[in-house]
Structure formats: structure tokens, C-alpha cells
Amino acid sequence: MKATPTKLRTGAWGVTTQGTPRVGETVTVTTKSGKSWTATIDRVIWSGSGVSICATSSGVSAPVRSSGVPAPVRRGRRECVSDGNCSSFGAGRSCGGHDCDGF
């Protein structure tokens, strides 16, 4: 089954496919530039109008916080040094990191 990469609400990458794939099914993911790889369907997040959005795994593990909760995927910023328990406002430097609380 063919698929294209798509960014999920969690910040992770998933795929958009035609039809409704089954969990465990392998899909070939192809970008607009022609790069391709295989991925396994972990979960069908949404399906409608002949299209499905799915969470996948492709052998790349996601970062995990010390609490065991998966860390959000962010680009261009360092990981939160307080595991998201920043009580600062504004610059967010009271915890020693960046503005991790979104203010």
C-alpha cells in the first residue's frame, strides 16, 4: 500500500493512505521528492472519504522522559530540563531551560 508522510497532532510523523489499512500492515511511504521507506501501521487515527491517517513505526524510537511518558517531538528547541514542570512565565529561564510552558 502506498502512503505519504503527514505530521500528527502529537508532533510525531505518521502517514496518509488511500483506503483503510489494518494495524500491522506494512506501507511504502514516499515523499514529494521521491525518497521512500517502509513503515508499519501502529494505529489508524482517522478514516473517512477513502483516506486514512495513521500512526506508524519505522524502526526509529521516540524520545522518552524520565517519567516514562514520550516527549513531544520539537525541532529547533532543546528538551525541557524540568520534564514539563516549569513554573516560570515569560522567558522560562527559572528552570534553567527555554520557555517550556508555552507562555
Domain residue ranges in the chain: 2-57, 61-103
pTM: 0.55
Q: Binning pLDDT at 50, 70 and 90, where does residue 42 land?
A: very high
53-80, pLDDT tens digit by residue? Answer: 999 986 444 444 555 555 555 554 455 5
Print the SS3 string covering the chain: CEEEEEECCCCCEEEEEECCCCCCCEEEEECCCCCEEEEEEEEEEEEECCEEEEEEECCCCCCECCCCCECCCCCCCCCCCCCCCCCCCCCCCCCCCCCCCCC
